[in-house]
Structure 1
Amino acid sequence: MRFYLTTHKRHWVRLTDVPLFLKSEHFVNAVKQDEAQGPYAVDSGGFSELQRHGQWTRTPRQYVDDLRRIWECVGPYDWAAPQDWMCEDAIIHGGWHGGQYFVGTRLSVAEHQRHTVANFLELRSLAPELRIAPVLQGRTIPDYERCAELYERAGVDLTQEPTVGLGSVCRLQSTREGAAIVTAMAAHGFKLHGFGFKTLGLAKVGHLLASADSAAWSSHARHRPALPGHTHKNCANCLPYALRWRTRVLNALPTWQQPTLDAA
């Protein structure tokens, strides 16, 4: 399993060779681009986009142009997420959830799945040379099975894809329901990426994932004193803290499923 540190600090790509996961917008809005020293993957920022607008405001062509610039300026990435449509209740129904306001798409899970697959096909048509990964979306195991069937009907063999994202599971990943979804999709032979996986989720199903990412280190640091010798209030934006947290998480996994710490 390759374990990516999720961060909004784009300049970290030149400071560490540990795998990083960053939103495309953080690169696109940058005046200066830093060359990556290690592996990294690109998030499309779909959760924030749908939370704020209830739809995508960037066209597929704009997104492809952004991905090409990132590839050329920062270096080849492992893969990039498509402009997928998450299926969490907050995204679909809107309203206040966990102190955050969601506009709400007011669409069905099935419509979100169709939008997700259609976008992947369009992105791959526009930029077949780019490493854009398909993503499975749903709420229940039958939902995810239907999403996989949509890809199959479109001629996409997910078993041959180097990465298949598993969306809308980050809030379920430590539960029995979340573990069942991961297990069911892994049984197809898909090389799954788990978005937003934390310690408990990794302990349960990390052995079934090809990769995962997490930003949990930042919220973890926000509620603790800064590391000794650090002058900031807390280490919520601190690379040394993030690297220590990552090492602790990987060391805490069962020994039979621990990846190498450099995840190279």
Structure 2
Amino acid sequence: METFYLGAQPHWLGPDSPLPGKIPVCVPRGRLTGRATLPRATRRWLLDSRGFTVLSRKQDDGHYARWDITPQQYVRGRPRLRRPDRPHGSRSSMDWICEGPVRANTGFEILEHLRRTVISYLELRWLDPTLPIFPVIQGDASLTVDHHLHCVDMYEQAGIDLTALPLVGVGSVCKLQATARIVDLFAALHHRLGGRTRLHAFGVKAQGLAAIAPAVYSADSQAWSKQGRATVKRCPHPDSGVRWEANCPIAAQQWFGTVLTAAARTIPAVWGRQVHTYRRRGNAGLLFEDLEPATAPPTTGERIASAVRVLLPEDTESELAAMLDDFSRVHSDQARAPWPTTASRAA
């Protein structure tokens, strides 16, 4: 693992941060909402789209959970983050988390979450190719690792070479850390992508990194703050300058060191043997037989129509809007051949 992003508050980005400059930070999008100004970033940082939080709860009127902003708002609503004096920032796409409780809130099946995840990345890149937005590989690995591999297939079908990108996220994995499934998942991704992709593990901390650190380029977690809020509460460090342990920079630095120590336990040679064991026992062909064939991803023409349509006002009645809606509807109704499963491809 090259980088671990410590979950932090926005003011920890700048020159007045209580953290040493060598510690990268991850800031959730919600923490930036409504702020008139932002500090000048003096360290590497990552912006989390806040997808898990948004999609984990239904709307106030009881309707299914949906993203609380549009792709245009995500790209254009924070021009301050795009200024060149705030370098080293990467932003995750508006992915659709695939864990069971989240799917219950959205009302969608896993394959629809995968489809929306891929389309989200395509839309965001189309809206502003200059932003350092990275895609996320989604799936529910608690059921089968083939969901994530299927998502990789969808990106490839859409013309996205994940091995050529600076960073690629892996989502819906934070609750797998105490299981062997997280090793299976990253071994499968390593095998599928040839070990040439810079993977970012969302929400993976010491326990998970102790097993998979050589397989990832980076990871992030704010578990130190949640732990302080749940257990210690009042800060016991007199020099921290804060009242609550959930905001304590001393506790954050100590926890950061613990994570790096855990990540160093598995050396690349050991990880290589784990991948070899994964391949030898035949998981690449056996775990994937029960996956339902997915609908083919949108064609290039459909993606263009969808992307152009979202740029128009929602209440527009222009001839162009009607044509784009008709185009997307006709092509979505056409029967297209299902994709092969991973097992059938291997055969």
TM range, smaller chain? 0.7 to 0.9
**Match of 1:85?**
96
SS at structure 1 position matched to 2:106: coil
- 1:26 is aligned to 2:31: yes
For 2:89, what is the secondary structure of its paired residue?
Answer: coil
Q: Which amino acid aligns with 1:23?
A: P
Amino acid in structure 2 at the alignment position of 1:194 = A
Bigger Cα displacement from structure 2, 181-190 vs 152-161: 181-190
User: Which residue does 2:135 correspond to in 1?
Assistant: 134
Q: Relative contact order (alpha carbons < 8 A, sep ≥ 6): 1 or 2 greater?
A: 1
1:209-233: CA deviation from partner (whole Å, max 9, x where unpaired) = 1000011111232313633315755
Q: Deviations over 1:40-81 (max 9, x none)?
A: 011111111112341112110100013533122861343101
Q: Which residue of 2 aligns with 1:207?
A: 214
Alignment of 1:1-264 (within 5 A): 1-7=2-8, 9-14=9-14, 15=17, 16=19, 17=21, 18-52=23-57, 53=59, 54-72=65-83, 75-93=86-104, 104-139=105-140, 140-187=144-191, 188=193, 189-222=196-229, 223-224=231-232, 226-230=235-239, 234-254=244-264, 257=267
Measured at CA, do residues 74 and 235 of structure 1 come closer, stay the same or move farther in structure 2, by a change above 3 Å? farther
Q: Structure 2, unaligned stretches of length 5 or more?
A: 60-64, 269-347
CA contact (8 A) 1:13 1:38 kept: yes
Shift of 1:255: 5.3
Q: Structure 1, residues 4-35: CA drift from partner, whole Å, max 9, x if none?
A: 0012x110101142101012232232122100
Select the structure of larger CA radius of gyration: 2
Contact 1:27 1:70 in 2 (8 A): no
Structure 1: any 5+ residue segments left out of the alignment? 94-103, 259-264
Say if 2:13 and 2:25, in contact at 8 Å, map to a contact too. yes
Secondary structure at the aligned position of 1:228 is classed as coil
Q: Give the structure 2 partner of residue 100 of structure 1.
A: none
The one-letter code of the counterpart of 2:44 is P
CA-atom RMSD, angstroms? 1.9
The SS at the match of 1:194 is strand
Q: Residue 191 and residue 234 in structure 1: after superposition, are their counterparts in 2 closer, same or farther (change >3 A)?
A: same
Aligned residues: 247
Cα distance in 2 for partners of 1:161, 1:66 equals: 24
SS at match of 1:227: coil
Q: Which residue of 1 aligns with 2:313?
A: none
Q: Is the Cα contact below 8 Å between 2:213 and 2:266 reproduced in 1?
A: no
**1:168 is paired with a residue of what secondary structure?**
coil
The residue type paired with residue 200 of structure 2 is: H
Q: CA separation in 2, counterparts of 1:133 and 1:239?
A: 28
Structure 2 distance, partners of 1:2, 1:243, is 15
> What fraction of aligned residue pairs are identical, expressed as a percent?
35
C-alpha distance in 2, partners of 1:77/1:247? Answer: 22
